């Protein structure tokens, strides 16, 4: 059995990109009976929204509800809140002593985000160092496998580097390395076909969307601008509808036939959109059913229980770190 850790920033409800990138793998791992920790990363979210903390606060239970709705089970997985595990803060500070500024600046995800955020000369320490804090999240639990979307891969790489550095500096084996586990669709495209599905770009289908909203989104999906008449040959590769069918439609043979038909011409966009809508309705059925059974009063208790378990585990790792670093109570 392996130890699994993953998590999400609570900046809004989760969407299908989260599902295919990471949630689906987490559910598979849960099914296999591993030791699983799923973290609501409210402290990491504050690196972006330090001046708007209520946004984070308001979404903690939303994300927890999404976890429960997709089938993460608090009896099998430890669902917890990052800010409730004090050891993570302490570990981050220790790691900051030896991780260089140039190393975090080289992290490809940080690089991309730096460009998007237009910090100019006002990059905050918190933002730049969040990969170090994420290394602490991963290493605190002696994690073996981190199921995440592709954009998180550099974070796992960096966590392994931090682990190796720590072990080598202090001549110990406190940390082990972990592996990233990407979803089969590790990056789901947005309905506009321009970028990956994301809340900020407003191009995602959310796990909380109603049928009407889903229908509207599916029927507005980007397909092939040159596929004007039904009989025209169509492009399958950059076609958002087919990318979603790839991610959600389980009748692979039928899908292969449809693709061939579309390429040749004679299959209209409305037909494939109708199929996708149908596929998504089936996908959403159990999610909605589970969501309907969530009792709000239980949410607090679920987190408390998870926080206690996560704390106990992370505290052990932190104690081992202190030991080799000669940080003692005097």
Give residues in contact with ligand TRP (CB under 6 A): 5-9, 41, 44, 134, 137-138, 146, 148, 152
| Sign of the dihedral through C-alpha 288, 292, 296, 302 | negative
Closest contact distance (angstroms) between CB of 262 and ligand TRP is 34
CB 51 within 8 A of CB 17: no
User: How far is 249 from 256, CA to CA, in rounded Å?
Assistant: 11
Helix H segments across the chain?
Answer: 16-18, 24-31, 42-49, 53-70, 86-96, 101-106, 108-117, 125-128, 130-140, 153-169, 211-219, 240-248, 252-264, 269-293, 296-324
| Residue least distant from ligand TRP (Cβ) | 41
Q: Cβ closer to ligand TRP: 6 or 317?
A: 6
Q: Cβ closer to ligand TRP: 44 or 243?
A: 44
Q: Cβ closer to ligand TRP: 48 or 65?
A: 48
Closest contact distance (angstroms) between CB of 5 and ligand TRP is 6
Closest contact distance (angstroms) between CB of 209 and ligand TRP is 20
Q: Cβ closer to ligand TRP: 144 or 219?
A: 144
Torsion, Cα 278 280 285 286, to 10 degrees, reads 140
Closest contact distance (angstroms) between CB of 202 and ligand TRP is 18
Q: Cβ closer to ligand TRP: 134 or 158?
A: 134
Strand partners, 15: 206
Q: Cβ closer to ligand TRP: 132 or 276?
A: 132
Closest contact distance (angstroms) between CB of 79 and ligand TRP is 14
User: How far is 33 from 1, CA to CA, in rounded Å?
Assistant: 7
Q: Other C-beta atoms within 10 Å of 168: how many?
A: 10
Closest contact distance (angstroms) between CB of 37 and ligand TRP is 9
């Amino acid at each position: 059995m392996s130890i699994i850790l993953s998590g999400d920033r609570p900046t809004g409800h989760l969407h299908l990109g989260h599902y295919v990138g990471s949630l689906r793998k987490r559910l598979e791992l849960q099914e296999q009976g591993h030791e699983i920790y799923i973290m609501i990363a409210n402290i990491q979210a504050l690196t972006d929204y330090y001046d708007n903390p209520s946004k984070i606060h308001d979404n903690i239970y939303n994300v927890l509800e999404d976890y429960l709705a997709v089938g993460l089970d608090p009896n099998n997985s430890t669902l917890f809140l990052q800010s409730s595990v004090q050891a993570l803060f302490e570990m981050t500070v220790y790691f900051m002593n030896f991780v260089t500024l140039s190393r975090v600046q080289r992290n490809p995800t940080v690089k991309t985000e730096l460009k998007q955020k237009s910090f100019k000369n006002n990059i905050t320490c918190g933002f730049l160092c969040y990969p170090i804090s994420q290394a602490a999240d991963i290493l605190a639990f002696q994690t073996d496998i981190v199921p995440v979307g592709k954009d998180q891969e550099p974070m796992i790489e960096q966590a392994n580097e931090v682990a190796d550095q720590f072990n080598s500096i202090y001549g110990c084996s406190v940390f082990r390395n972990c592996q990233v586990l990407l979803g089969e669709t590790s990056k789901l495209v947005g309905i506009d076909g321009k970028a990956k599905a994301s809340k900020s770009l407003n191009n995602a289908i959310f796990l909380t969307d109603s049928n009407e909203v889903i229908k509207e989104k599916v029927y507005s999906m980007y397909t092939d601008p040159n596929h004007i008449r039904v009989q025209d040959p169509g492009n399958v590769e950059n076609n958002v509808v087919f990318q979603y069918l790839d991610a959600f439609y389980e009748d692979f043979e039928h899908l292969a036939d449809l693709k061939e038909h579309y390429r040749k011409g004679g299959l209209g966009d409305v037909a494939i959109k109708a199929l996708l809508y149908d596929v998504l309705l089936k996908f959403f059925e159990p999610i909605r059913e589970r969501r309907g059974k969530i009792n709000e009063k239980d949410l607090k208790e679920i987190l408390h229980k998870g926080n206690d378990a996560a704390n106990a585990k992370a505290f052990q790792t932190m104690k081992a770190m202190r030991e080799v670093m000669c940080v003692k109570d005097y």
